[in-house]
Chains A and B, each alone.
Chain A
Amino acid sequence: MKNTTLHTFVFAIACIIFLDGIFASGAYAASTPEKQVITLDEFHANADVGCADCHGNKNQRAAVSMVKCLECHDTKELAEKTANVKPTNPHNNRHYSTEADCNLCHHQHKKSENFCLPCHARFDLIVP
């Protein structure tokens, strides 16, 4: 990874601006008053994965496809890792097998969501 320090720096500033906005809006404060919620962008930044690592340098507002996730994450390994998650393994499901688009549940710049819930009321999975 090139220019990691610079990326992290730029990213950290972006995060501060972004999170400021979120906390100011009260969206997170309302649901979790005590615990600080870390969005995945912050999590990634802490692991030295900066904006450009996903978005590239050209247009950092462009949506990032799942292919980018697959550069670091292996869907089959992930499915094995969560094989015993109850009530169901979200990473090997009837709709997409192991290939569900990560972005359906895992959001980077906002709180992630449990995509199963609207149809499967009892799939109360916690989504990082």
Chain B
Amino acid sequence: MSREISQEEKAVDQYTANVLQSGISRRRFLSCTALGAAGIGIMGLTGLTEKNAEAAQVDQGGEFAKSSDGGATLNFMPKPEPIADKDIASTKTFDVIVVGAGASGVPAALSAAENGATVAVIQKHPMPVSQGNTGSGIDLATSDKAGIEALVALLMNDNNHRCNPALLRQWAYNSGEAVKWVIDRARKGGSPVVDQGSKPQFAIRQVNGYTLNYVTSYFGPKPYTTGDGMRALAKTAEAAGVQFYFNMPASQLVQSQSGEVIGVIAKGRDGKYTKFMAKKGVILATGDYQNNTAMCDYFIPDLKHFGRKQMDRTGDGFAMAYWAGGVIEPIGHTKMLHDFDAGPASMCDMPFLAVNREGKRFVNETVAMSLFNNYLRDAKNAGHYSQIFDANYMTQAADWPGKLVSPEGLKNYMPDDPSPKNGVYESQTNTHVADTLGELATKLECDPATFIASVKRYNELCATGKDDDFGKPANRLVPVEKAPFYGIHRRVRISTICSGMLVNENHQALNADGAPIKGLYVIGNLGGGFYGGVDYPLTVFGLSLGRCYTFGYMAGKHVANL
């Protein structure tokens, strides 16, 4: 390693330095091979070109990614065979190529087009795909600067202080503009999207005594989601000249001799390859890797037994960016597991009695739903739990955080109730009511004896006013004793994994030396540095989509103006 590089590394921020030290990248793999060769004295370090080092590795049995210490071979990330020119059926050239048409890819494409670039979007699916309803930003004009910084500090805390503060600030100071822009452009494409303003962000309108206001885009209610919203936004993008290529998964990046990313090769449904050349840059927006079991087992083994909410998230962008020299954040990635569909979303964080799949109480219920997964990681529970309350819930929980839904309203979430369902995914509803605890246990698929014993014990604790088992505050201890009894059987599944590739503030991928890789940009959940905690925080409702829109909007503009 040269002195120059060492100095460069010293200059980077803590977050970047840590990812360079512990992340998964090509340089470690190369330097290990190089050091090995130098050690046995075949040739000096300077004599061993990168190409030779790679060739040595191939001789050892194929090219795979390496773990951060260079010791383990990650055979789930094999380097693809380069696609030969003779196999390319056609070549197309644009200023900007976006890979992935989701909540960051579609905004990036439109933003680039509005800034004068010719743009193509390559999408694996037959249409743009996204999930969720809410995407948020901060309304700068009506927020205190100190409030914005207080919110950034709060998010740093949520992220266990392991993120890149510069990226949080970039969201904080640009998201209002970006989310407003998405709302306007999606409407032009026919979406009924609305700005809910600060209304859904009731807990963070004041932070540390400072005032904040928000721009909160809402694509909904379900079954209408941001997926429909991005399809509307794609119509606006098409009208602006963006060309979409569907059913075309990207296979590999095209790099120049110097390592600059200059294009993408994608495979059509007919098996033929198209080479998309990028004059200004390639923006990867391919999302997470929850459907790639081997990647999950390595980077975030906590997910082993949880259900997946999405399909085809196979981490294609990770492999492509890695092989182009990019750095994957160290293991222990951030996850997002929710269930907003089994019962009302507004009651998910209410600290009612909660029991696991068997029927046992397992946690101090003031823990947020977004963290419950940590208590339910085993094969048996696999994310399943139930919230239990009785006929008195409307009065007894009236002042609890969230919003209560009346018994009549709960019918909308009950699969056994014949009433027509509105604003929910009917196939995912899982709320039940019963006249006896035994009957309720059966409906919730718990063991009735265990369930009844848990309720009995809980009621005893409520009577004493002290939670000797889990320490929940007395004002959250209300007994379950009056029929009818209610239960919401939730199963948290993986919405997304939100750790990714190391990027700088231009969303440009960095290599293992901390230097930008020319022509390669990474946004959305494929982008790293924005989270870092054990779980995605629910402090700002819609932070995830808000970040996707904002970074798509900014990266598109940046690359178009190169």
Q: Point out residues on A near B: beta carbons under 8 Å.
A: 65-67, 87-88, 94-99, 118-123
Q: How far is the CB of A45 from chain B (nearest CB, A)?
A: 25
- Contact partner of B271 (CB less than 8 A), chosen from A65, A87, A95, is A65
Taking the complex as formed, is B426 at the interface, i.e. its CB lies under 8 A from any CB of chain A? yes
The chain A residue with its CB closest to the CB of B225 is: A94
Instruction: Decide if B247 touches A99 in the complex (CB within 8 Å).
Output: yes
A88 in contact with B427 given A94-B227, A97-B126, A119-B307 (CB within 8 Å): yes
29 A/B residue pairs, CB under 8 Å, sorted by A: A65-B269, A65-B270, A67-B269, A67-B270, A67-B271, A87-B426, A87-B427, A88-B427, A94-B223, A94-B227, A95-B125, A95-B129, A95-B311, A96-B125, A96-B126, A96-B127, A97-B126, A98-B126, A99-B126, A99-B127, A118-B307, A119-B307, A119-B308, A119-B309, A120-B427, A120-B428, A121-B427, A122-B427, A123-B427
Q: How far is the CB of A91 from chain B (nearest CB, A)?
A: 12
Taking the complex as formed, is B332 at the interface, i.e. its CB lies under 8 A from any CB of chain A? no
Which residues on the A side are within 8 Å of B227 (C-beta)? 94
| CA–CA, A121 and B342, complex, Å | 13
Tell which of A66, A87, A99 has the most Cβ of chain B within 10 Å: A99
| CA–CA, A56 and B443, complex, Å | 52
Which residues on the B side are within 8 Å of A98 (C-beta)? 126
Q: How far is the CB of B311 from chain A (nearest CB, A)?
A: 6
The chain A residue with its CB closest to the CB of B429 is: A122
Taking the complex as formed, is B415 at the interface, i.e. its CB lies under 8 A from any CB of chain A? yes
* Chain B 236-269 interface 0/1 with A at a Cβ cutoff of 8 Å (1 = within): 0000000000010000000000000000000001
Q: How far is the CB of B448 from chain A (nearest CB, A)?
A: 21
Q: How far is the CB of B206 from chain A (nearest CB, A)?
A: 38
| CA–CA, A65 and B249, complex, Å | 14
| CA–CA, A90 and B548, complex, Å | 30
| CA–CA, A122 and B271, complex, Å | 35
Interface size on B, residues (CB 8 A): 19
Within 8 A of A (CB), among B125-160: 125-127, 129
Tell which of A66, A95, A118 has the most Cβ of chain B within 10 Å: A95
| CA–CA, A123 and B425, complex, Å | 12
The chain A residue with its CB closest to the CB of B307 is: A119
Which residues on the A side are within 8 Å of B426 (C-beta)? 87, 122
Instruction: Decide if B269 touches A66 in the complex (CB within 8 Å).
Output: yes
Which residues on the B side are within 8 Å of A123 (C-beta)? 427
| CA–CA, A94 and B230, complex, Å | 13
| CA–CA, A99 and B451, complex, Å | 44
Which residues on the B side are within 8 Å of A65 (C-beta)? 269-271
| CA–CA, A121 and B427, complex, Å | 7
Instruction: Decide if B427 touches A97 in the complex (CB within 8 Å).
Output: no
Q: How far is the CB of B415 from chain A (nearest CB, A)?
A: 7
| CA–CA, A94 and B428, complex, Å | 14
Q: How far is the CB of A17 from chain B (nearest CB, A)?
A: 29
| CA–CA, A119 and B223, complex, Å | 16
The chain A residue with its CB closest to the CB of B312 is: A95
Which residues on the A side are within 8 Å of B493 (C-beta)? 119
Q: How far is the CB of A101 from chain B (nearest CB, A)?
A: 9
Which residues on the B side are within 8 Å of A67 (C-beta)? 269-271
| CA–CA, A120 and B307, complex, Å | 11
| CA–CA, A67 and B493, complex, Å | 33
3 cross-chain pairs, A with B, having the tightest CB-CB distances, nearest first: A99-B126, A120-B427, A67-B270
| CA–CA, A56 and B325, complex, Å | 40
Which residues on the A side are within 8 Å of B126 (C-beta)? 96-99
Which residues on the A side are within 8 Å of B415 (C-beta)? 122
Known contacts A65-B269, A96-B125, A99-B247; 4 additional CB pairs below 8 A are A96-B126, A97-B126, A119-B307, A122-B426
| CA–CA, A77 and B271, complex, Å | 24
| CA–CA, A95 and B309, complex, Å | 11
* Chain B 146-179 interface 0/1 with A at a Cβ cutoff of 8 Å (1 = within): 0000000000000000000000000000000000
